[in-house]
Amino acid sequence: MSTPRSKTRWKSLLWGAARILFAAAALLFVVKIFADHWPEFRAGWRPPRPAYVTAAGAALILSYLYLLQISLAVLRRVGSRLSFRGGLRPFFYSLLGRYIPGRFAVIVGKIYLYERRGVPRLTAALALAYENVFAAVGGFAVAAAAVATVAAGLLSWRALLPAAAGVGVLLVLLQPGVLKRLLGWALRRAGRDELDAGRVLGRGEATAFALAYASYCVISGVFFALFAAAFVPLDAGLAVRVGAAYVAASVLGYAAVFTPSGLGVREGLVVLLLHQYLPPGEAAFLAVASRLATVVVELALAGAAAALGNKEAAVNRRASA
C-alpha cells in the first residue's frame, strides 16, 4: 500500500519527467525545421564574420556582468554587502542551476551560496525574491514592446500601444501594496515566511530595479542581433526586429518554469517570431547556435568564478598562516 509520501515522490518524478519531455519535444520541433530546410541552408551558408562574433560575445559577457551588478545591488539594499569577487560564485554557479527543471535549484543553490559568504538566510531569500519579481516585471514590459516590434514593425502605433501597455502594467505591479503580495508569493516559493511591510522597497527604488532588469533584456537583444549578423546579412531595421524576437522569446522562455532555462521554448519562439523575416532554416540555426553560445559562455564564466575563488581562498590561507 502506497503512503502519502511515496505518492508525493511519484507525482514529483512524473512532473519532472513531463517537463523534460516537453523541452525535448520543443527542441525536436526546432531541429526538424532545421533538418527540413538543410539543403537551402547549406546552399546559402557563409562563414561567420569574426568581428560580429567577437562583438556578440562581448555583449553576452557584458549582459551577465551587468546582471551580477544588479543582483549585488539588490542584496545590498536588503541589508548585506558582497564584493564583486565575492558575488561571482553565487551568481554564476546558480545560473547553471537554471538547466534543472523548475526554479528550485536556482533558489536553493543561490541561498546556500550566499549563506557560505555570510549572508543571513532570510536576507538571501528576500534578495532572491526581489530579483525574481523585478526580472519578471521588467522583462514583461520589454517583451510586450519586443513582440509588438516584431509583429507590427518599428515606430508604428500598433507597436507603441502594446509597449505603452507593458509600461503601464510595470507601474501597477510596482505599487508597494502589489509588490508586497508579489514578494510574499516569491518568498513562499523559496520556503520563507511572509514579508513584513517595513522591508518593502519604495516605488522609486522598485521602478529603478525593474528598469535595470529591462535594460538587461535590451542588452541580450543586442547580443542576438550581433550574433545573427555574423551569419546573416542584416540591415538596421531587421537587426532590431531580430533582437526584439530574441528578447520576447527569452522572457517567455524564462516564464516557462516547466522547462530547464526555457530550453526548447525559447528556440521555438525565436523560429516562430522570425519566420516572416528569415528563412526557417536560418532562424532555426540561429536559435540553436545562440543557445550553445550562451551555455559555453556561462560555463566559461562559472569556471572563471571558480578560479578566482580558489585564488582568493589561497591568499586568505597564506595570510592566516
The full DSSP string for 237-248 is HHHHHHHHHHHH
Alpha helices in 153-198 (DSSP H): 157-173, 176-189
- The region of weakest confidence among 102-106, 116-120, 249-253, 279-283 is 102-106
Q: What is the pLDDT of residue 44?
A: 75
pTM score: 0.81
Burial pattern 296-318, b for ≥16 Cβ within 10 A else e, equals ebbeebbeebeeeeeeeeeeeee
**What does the pLDDT look like over 45-72, one tens digit per residue?**
888 999 999 999 999 999 999 999 999 9
Biggest CA-to-CA distance, the chain: 67
Side chain identity at residue 250, one-letter code? S
CA-CA-CA-CA torsion sign (121, 127, 129, 135): negative
**What does the pLDDT look like over 241-278, one tens digit per residue?**
899 999 988 888 776 656 666 677 788 888 888 888 89
Q: What is the pLDDT of residue 262?
A: 67
**What does the pLDDT look like over 193-209, one tens digit per residue?**
555 545 667 778 888 88
The better pLDDT of the pair 90, 130 is held by 90
Q: What is the pLDDT of residue 251?
A: 85
The better pLDDT of the pair 130, 26 is held by 130
Q: What is the pLDDT of residue 31?
A: 78
Q: Where does the pLDDT of residue 16 fall: very low under 50, low under 70, confident under 90, or very high at 90 and above? A: low
Q: What is the pLDDT of residue 96?
A: 82
